[in-house]
Amino acid sequence: FLDLKLAERVVLRNKTKLCSSKPIVTVNGKFPGPTLYAREDDTVLVKVTNHVKYNLSIHWHGIRQLRTGWADGPAYITQCPIPTGQSYVYNFTITGQRGTLLWHAHILWLRATVHGALVILPKRGVPYPFPAPHKEVNVLLGEWWKSDTETVINQALKSGIAPNVSDAHTINGHPGVVPNCSSQGEWWKSDTETVINQALKSGIAPNVSDAHTINGHPGVVPNCSSQGGFTLPVESGKTYLLRIINAALNEELFFKIAGHNLTIVEVDATYVKPFKTDTIVIAPGQTTNALVTANQNSGKYMVAASPFMDSPIAVDNLTATATLHYTGTLASTPTTLTSPPPQNATQVANSFINSLKALNSNKFPAKVPLKIDHNLLFTVGLGINPCPSCKAGNGSRVVGSVNNVSFVMPTTALLQAHVFNKSGVFTTDFPGNPPTAFNYSGGPPANASLATTNGTKLYRLAYNSTVQLVLQDTGTIAPENHPIHLHGFNFFCVGRGVGNYNPKTDPKKFNLVDPVERNTANIPSGGWTAIRFVADNPGVWFMHCHLEVHTTWGLKMAFLVDNGKGPNQSLLPPPKDLPKC
C-alpha cells in the first residue's frame, strides 16, 4: 500500500536555503519512497491512496505491463490521475523480468520526491548469473529542490522558458558538495529577466542544480553542512551488489567510488556481459547493477555522483557524495577522495555505454528482431517557437518535439479513448520520418528545422510487428543528450553514433548479436541511437525524454499497438476502480 502524504522534511541544518525545510510529497512518510520487492512472475497489487492536493499517478518504470496497460501509470496516457482522497489499485504481473527498476509519480514534476526502488528478485531458487553478493544495497540518485516543484513546472509551462533548476542532486536523498550553496537556490526564483537572459544566452535549458543527493542525503555541503551523507558500511573481502537508480528529474549522472572498480552485471533489469569500469554514466530512468568488492583492508572512500551534460552551454558541476566505510575504521580517518569526470566528459560516457552488451547466454538469449516491418526515423530535440503571448520569453518559447510534432497532452486518457472508441482525443498520423529536409551527409550535428506543429499524434503498430527506430538528436538551439524512455517494452540498442544517421552505411555496423536491452536509451548529443523491438504488447505506450523539462515542453509521443487475433493477445479489460477524468 502506498500512501501519499504531504510531509515536512528537514534536509540540512544551518541557514542557507538548501538547509531549510519545506513540505514535500512523500510516500508512506519516506523520501526516497519505500522499496518495492517482488519476484519474477509475481502478481503485484499496489493500492495507491492520494492524500495530497495534487492529482497523482504512479508509473512502474520498466515493467513490461504485458496486456495490463491500465497499470502503467502515465497520467492522461494510460489512466486519468487519482484525485485527492481516492485510491487506485495497480495490478500487474511481472513477466520475464528480474532486476532493478524504479517507480515514480508520472504527472507534472511530482516524481522529484515521489519515487523509490523496485527490486525484482529472480524466481525462488534461481541464482543470479554472477557470483552471489554478500549484501545488496539500493543507491538512489536524485535531486533536491528547495522550492515546490509544481511552482517550477507551472513557470515552465507559462513562459516556455527554462526554470528547470533543482537545488540539489542527491544520493539516497542526500546532496553532496554544493559550491555556493546559498546563492544557487535563488537562481530560478529571481526575477524572470535573469532566468530569460540565462536561457536565451545559453540557448537551451541550463540544467543547473543546487546539489545532488545519494539515498536522499547531500553529504558535505560547503557553507551549509558538514554531514557526510549516506554511508555504506562494508566488510573487507566481501562483495556487494549496488542497485544504482537515477531518479533525478533533469540530470544524467556519473557515479564512481574512490579506489574501487565496479563490475557491471545488469542495466534496466536486463543482464549484461560483466565488465569492469571505474565510472558509470546513468540517465534519469535508467538503473545499473554493479558488483563492488571491498578489496582494501580498511578506510573510508568517497562515493560521487556528478552531472554528465554534453551540451556546450549549460553548467552544473555539483557533486553528491556518500561514503564507503570499512567496518572498524575510525570515524576520524580521512576519506580517500576521488574526482568525478568533468561535466562534458563525453568520452567517459561513450566508453561506458559502448561497453554494454547483452549477456546473451543460453538462459538469457538476446532475441533481436532481424526482419523489420517499420523502419522509422524520429528526430528528437528542442527548438524555439514564436509565442506572441509569451511575455517572459520576449515573444518566443522553447518547445520540445519528435519529428517536429510537439505533443499536446489530452484531457482524457488515451488508452480509454482508444478502447472505448472516443473520437477527437488523438490522431494516428504521427510521421514515421522527419517531415522537413534532413541532411544525411554526416559531419556536424544534425540541424533540422524545428518549426513544430502541435498535436496528440500516435504512431500505430499492428500486433507483433517489428520496429527499427532511429532516434536522431537535432536542435535549432544546441545539441543535447536525450534519455529516451519507451513504456511497455524493452528494446535492443543496435547502433549509436555521432553526427547524422546514415541509412546506407550505418545499419551495416549494427550489432544484431548481443546488443544491450533497455527501456531508456542514451541519445548522444548531436548523434543518434538505433533501437529495435517487437510490438507484442497491445495498448497505448508513451515514449518521451526522461529529462522532465524536455517532456514538459513536448518532447514526447506515443505508440498505439493493436490487439492481436490469437488467445492472450489482447489488452485485458479495464479495472473497475480505474480513475475517471
Window of 39-47, 380-388, 415-423, 542-550 that interacts with ligand C2O by CB under 6 A: 542-550
Cα atoms in the Cβ-side hemisphere of radius 13 Å centred on 321: 27
In three-state form (DSSP H/G/I as H, E/B as E, the rest C), the secondary structure along 394-427 is CCEEEEEEECCEEECCCCCCHHHHHHCCCCCCCE
Closest CA to 511 of 496, 489, 527, 490: 496
CA distance 435 to 450: 10
In the stretch 154-193, what mask flags binding to ligand C2O with x, by CB under 6 A?
----------------------------------------
Residue number closest to ligand C2O, CB atom:
61
Q: Which residues contact 114 (CB under 8 A, 6 or more apart)?
A: 4, 25, 26, 27, 33, 56, 58, 104, 105
* 51 within 8 A of 177, measured Cβ to Cβ: no
Q: Can you give the C-alpha Rg of the chain in angstroms?
A: 22
Minimum distance, C-beta of residue 352 to ligand C2O, in the bound complex (Å) = 21
67 binds ligand C2O (CB under 6 A): no
106 binds ligand C2O (CB under 6 A): yes
DSSP one-letter string for 224-271: TB-----EEEE-TT-EEEEEEEE--SS-EEEEEETTB-EEEEEETTEE
Return the H-helix or E-strand segment holding 183: helix 181-184
CA distance 303 to 38: 28
C-alpha cell at 489: 517494452
59 binds ligand C2O (CB under 6 A): yes
In the stretch 217-256, what mask flags binding to ligand C2O with x, by CB under 6 A?
----------------------------------------
Please pick, from the candidates 32, 33, 74, 229, the single residue that binds ligand C2O as defined by CB under 6 A.
74
Minimum distance, C-beta of residue 407 to ligand C2O, in the bound complex (Å) = 12
Window of 30-38, 165-173, 352-360, 539-547 that interacts with ligand C2O by CB under 6 A: 539-547
Give, as ranges, the residues between 272 and 291 that touch ligand C2O (CB under 6 A): 285
Q: Which is nearer to ligand C2O, 488 or 497 (CB)?
A: 488
* 141 within 8 A of 255, measured Cβ to Cβ: yes
Minimum distance, C-beta of residue 4 to ligand C2O, in the bound complex (Å) = 17
Q: Which is nearer to ligand C2O, 285 or 299 (CB)?
A: 285
Q: Which is nearer to ligand C2O, 33 or 74 (CB)?
A: 74
What does each C-alpha distance from 512 to 358, 483, 516 come to in angstroms? Answer: 11, 22, 10
CA distance 81 to 73: 8
Window of 272-280, 364-372, 427-435, 540-548 that interacts with ligand C2O by CB under 6 A: 540-548
Q: Which is nearer to ligand C2O, 106 or 518 (CB)?
A: 106
Q: Which is nearer to ligand C2O, 159 or 207 (CB)?
A: 207
* Interface size with ligand C2O, residues (CB under 6 A): 11
Q: Helical H runs in 295-423? A: 346-355, 414-419
Please pick, from the candidates 17, 67, 98, 104, the single residue that binds ligand C2O as defined by CB under 6 A.
104
482 binds ligand C2O (CB under 6 A): no
* 371 within 8 A of 467, measured Cβ to Cβ: no
Q: Which is nearer to ligand C2O, 4 or 359 (CB)?
A: 4
Please pick, from the candidates 11, 26, 32, 61, the single residue that binds ligand C2O as defined by CB under 6 A.
61
CA distance 314 to 463: 42
Minimum distance, C-beta of residue 551 to ligand C2O, in the bound complex (Å) = 8
The DSSP code for 167 is S
CA distance 293 to 147: 39
Minimum distance, C-beta of residue 506 to ligand C2O, in the bound complex (Å) = 28
The DSSP code for 388 is T
Please pick, from the candidates 217, 325, 485, 518, the single residue that binds ligand C2O as defined by CB under 6 A.
485
Q: Which is nearer to ligand C2O, 202 or 519 (CB)?
A: 519
Please pick, from the candidates 88, 240, 542, 553, the single residue that binds ligand C2O as defined by CB under 6 A.
542
496 binds ligand C2O (CB under 6 A): no
C-alpha cell at 246: 537515477
Minimum distance, C-beta of residue 104 to ligand C2O, in the bound complex (Å) = 6
Q: Which is nearer to ligand C2O, 63 or 461 (CB)?
A: 63
Q: Which residues contact 416 (CB under 8 A, 6 or more apart)?
A: 79, 80, 422, 574, 578, 581
Minimum distance, C-beta of residue 76 to ligand C2O, in the bound complex (Å) = 12
Catalog residues that contact ligand C2O under the rule CB under 6 A: 59, 61, 74, 104, 106, 285, 485, 487, 542, 544, 546
